[in-house]
């Protein structure tokens, strides 16, 4: 499927407009005064990128695809070594892609969906690629039933859940990939159709967080929680601020959400879902407010590389880690 040219044209306009605007917004949630956590600034990426896929795999943080400085997609794959604080170039994807999602299922790394095309026209992809370490290459696996970019991926019980995104319009698609048999199945769709959302597997459920209907349209603070045992959704506590382009990770006892954008705004927010209080609380804000990011947990720290520093196109080399 193809994103209409007018959407890509709007994105091109935003490349100019976003260079002049973008108010930084922190979290409106109650601030945790006792354990705010701490950010560390690390070696920047070799080149600016945004709308990337990010995962932790093999003791490295992987940053996959995205837009470069020119607002054109790249097939670039780079890994960050926290022990040495250095970056390494890895095998490129078979196709340049932006707005894809990455997920690790067991000991296997996958990249799903996204768009090809840059300033003129975006084409939504159904592709699924797996990285094969023994051959340092990416291999195609069974494609998603529904092509889409701007989607989110969550892992639960050895399966990859692909949620939302858009092609001709925003989607509430919920499709589940089983690496054991290389097969997709359709699950109960999300209640809210949206793209630029985040998703995590947490305490036996899949959480879909935030997102939007369009760049200038409705921004969602919705949190919707999927129970695979009953193939059903329920509503969770909404995010303190509605936005898209955010990233999220799950720790054993909490969920963390980072950054994002809304019309004319860019978020430095770092928010934690507190299970005991069933509420969101604000932690130490991101040093570099960003959207179009990913996040990954490695060695007890959360790594948030790349992204854009203003609404629209504004790719950065920022690489920061958060210790909860």
Q: What are the tens digits of pLDDT across the range 85-97?
A: 999 999 999 999 9
Res 3: pLDDT: 52
Res 33: pLDDT: 85
Res 119: pLDDT: 75
What are the pLDDT digits (tens) for 133-148? Answer: 999 999 999 999 999 9
| CATH topology for the 2-323 domain | Neuraminidase (2.120.10)
Task: Tell me what the mean pLDDT of segment 27-52 comes to.
Answer: 95
Res 5: pLDDT: 43
Is the per-residue pLDDT at 297 higher than 60? yes
Any residues with CB less than 8 A from the CB of 283 and at least 6 apart, and which?
32, 36, 37, 256, 270, 271, 272, 322, 324
Task: Tell me what the mean pLDDT of segment 170-187 comes to.
Answer: 98
Res 6: pLDDT: 40
Is the per-residue pLDDT at 20 higher than 80? no
Structure-token match 């054993």, residue found: 252
Return d(Cα 192, Cα 212) in angstroms, integer: 10
Res 136: pLDDT: 97
pTM: 0.94
What are the pLDDT digits (tens) for 196-223? Answer: 999 999 999 999 999 999 999 999 999 9
């Amino acid at each position: 499927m193809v994103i209409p040219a007018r959407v890509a044209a709007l994105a091109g306009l935003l490349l100019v407009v976003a260079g002049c605007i973008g108010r930084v917004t922190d979290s409106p949630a109650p601030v945790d005064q006792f354990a705010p956590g701490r950010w560390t600034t690390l070696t920047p990426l070799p080149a600016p990128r945004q709308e990337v896929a990010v995962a932790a795999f093999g003791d490295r943080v992987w940053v996959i695809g995205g837009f470069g400085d020119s607002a054109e997609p790249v097939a670039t794959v780079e890994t960050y070594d926290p022990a040495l604080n250095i970056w390494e170039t890895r095998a490129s994807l078979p196709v340049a892609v932006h707005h894809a999602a990455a997920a690790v299922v067991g000991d296997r790394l996958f990249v799903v969906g996204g768009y090809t095309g840059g300033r003129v026209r975006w084409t939504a992809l159904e592709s699924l690629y797996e990285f094969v370490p023994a051959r340092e290459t990416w291999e195609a696996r069974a494609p998603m039933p529904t092509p889409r970019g701007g989607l989110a991926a969550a892992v639960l019980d050895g399966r990859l859940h692909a949620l939302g995104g858009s092609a001709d319009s925003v989607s509430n698609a919920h499709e589940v990939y089983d690496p054991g048999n290389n097969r997709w199945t359709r699950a109960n769709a999300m209640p809210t159709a949206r793209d630029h959302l985040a998703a995590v597997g947490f305490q036996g459920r899949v959480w879909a967080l935030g997102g939007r209907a369009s760049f200038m349209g409705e921004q969602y603070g919705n949190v919707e929680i999927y129970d695979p045992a009953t193939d059903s959704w329920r509503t969770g506590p909404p995010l303190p601020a509605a936005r898209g382009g955010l990233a999220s990770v799950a720790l054993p006892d909490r969920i963390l959400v980072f950054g994002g954008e809304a019309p004319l705004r860019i978020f430095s927010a770092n928010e934690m879902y507190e299970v005991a209080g069933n509420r969101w609380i604000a932690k130490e804000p991101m040093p570099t407010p960003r959207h179009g990011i990913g996040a990954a947990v490695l060695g007890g720290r959360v790594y948030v590389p790349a992204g854009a520093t203003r609404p629209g196109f504004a790719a950065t080399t920022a690489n920061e880690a958060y210790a909860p």
